[in-house]
Chain A
Amino acid sequence: MSGRAAALALSALALAAGARAQERAIPLDQLRSGSSFLSGDLRALQNDEFANPALLWVERGEKLWREPAGSAGKACASCHKDDAASSMRGVATRYPRVDAASGKLMNLEARINDCRTARMGAEPFRYESEEMLGITAYVAKQSRGMPIAADIGGPARTHYDTGRAFYYQRRGQMNLSCAHCHEANWGKRLFAETISQGQPNAYPAYRLEWQTMGSLERRLRACLSGVRAEMLPYGDPAYRDLELFLAWRGQGLPIETPGVRR
């Protein structure tokens, strides 16, 4: 009896902790995309269907989509319908997600490389290579305007919890967590910059500071470096867990890929 009561009390505790873990520091109706912190000029550049420099990478991605590679002699377009505008529509809104076959949390980059190695018999693309940025930007662009809809239920839950813990963990010589800037102080000035909410909905994006395209992982590394923390290597699972937390946190924001950012 007492054992049962203790179990009940424990599960009630767990439920309470679970509910707390899902509280949103920024309510859904106050979410603001990074583009709303940009100057009008940059917003116009992002929305320009020609001048947006990220479209150079998208163009390359479109070629890769149709180009057969690897021992199976297949292209992306061989299995997925040739028209990515319909077959890839909405796909990017659901990533990162747990792959049913391997049980691993995959972001769009990992999913594409998994397709290349397992189904096409091709070499995986390197992180931040022109090819990887191109194909992810091309695929994600097909979801432009659609709201982020990441699923944190079921097997994704532990990844979400880890990502959330990472987000609120102080780190680096500055001893700052992500939340100290992007939740407690967004909208305020940090020298010449306005601190954004740190939303992931435009990546991969063209960043003026880089003068090139970069993935969300590269952006996260830039933040780690900014607080003078140790940068985890590319492909570290911690980034993907964090990406899942960010996707949940920005749920409902429209995808802007390929974005332009400062």
Chain B
Amino acid sequence: MVARVQIPKEAKRGEIIEIRIVIQHPMETGFRRDDVGRPIKRNVITAFSCKFNGAQIFRADMSSGISANPYLQFYTVAQASGEFEFYWIDDEGNQGLEHQSIVVSG
């Protein structure tokens, strides 16, 4: 699974920063059928979370209503330098993990 994460490398303390992530995933709804009419098993990312220095700052419980290759954008206040951890898991049990760090000054 490929994912692209974008957060600022540096920020000032108290600054609102934008976090963006795109995850490559088919988000198969489970409602479709293949060429010979067999149902295609549902496979969507069910849970996504973002932690900062171990504390959860954002969580999304997703289902079949989200389109393929989900794109998430959210905000947080920069309080200290540290590491963001992004984690997600799909119906088949495939997990994704990304890390990105930030330096906060002031």
Q: Which residues of A contact B (CB under 8 A)?
A: 50-51, 53, 55-56, 59-60, 211-212
Given contacts A51-B20, A53-B71, A211-B68, contact A60 B26 (CB under 8 A): no
Residues of chain B at interface, number, CB under 8 A: 13
For the complex, give the distance between the alpha carbons of A211 and B25 in Å: 10
Q: Count contacts between A and B, CB distance < 8 Å.
A: 30
Which residues of A have CB within 8 Å of B2? Answer: 56, 59-60
For the complex, give the distance between the alpha carbons of A7 and B54 in Å: 85
For the complex, give the distance between the alpha carbons of A256 and B39 in Å: 36
Q: Is the CB of B24 within 8 A of A56?
A: yes
Give me the 4 closest cross-chain CB pairs, A-B, nearest first: A211-B68, A56-B24, A53-B69, A50-B6
Report which of B22, B24, B26, B68 forms a contact with A50, defined as CB distance below 8 A.
B22
Given contacts A51-B20, A211-B26, contact A56 B6 (CB under 8 A): no
CB nearest neighbor in B for A60: B2
Report which of A55, A211, A212 forms a contact with B4, defined as CB distance below 8 A.
A55
Is residue B105 contacting chain A, with contact meaning CB distance below 8 A? no
Which residues of B have CB within 8 Å of A211? Answer: 26-27, 67-69
For the complex, give the distance between the alpha carbons of A252 and B6 in Å: 34
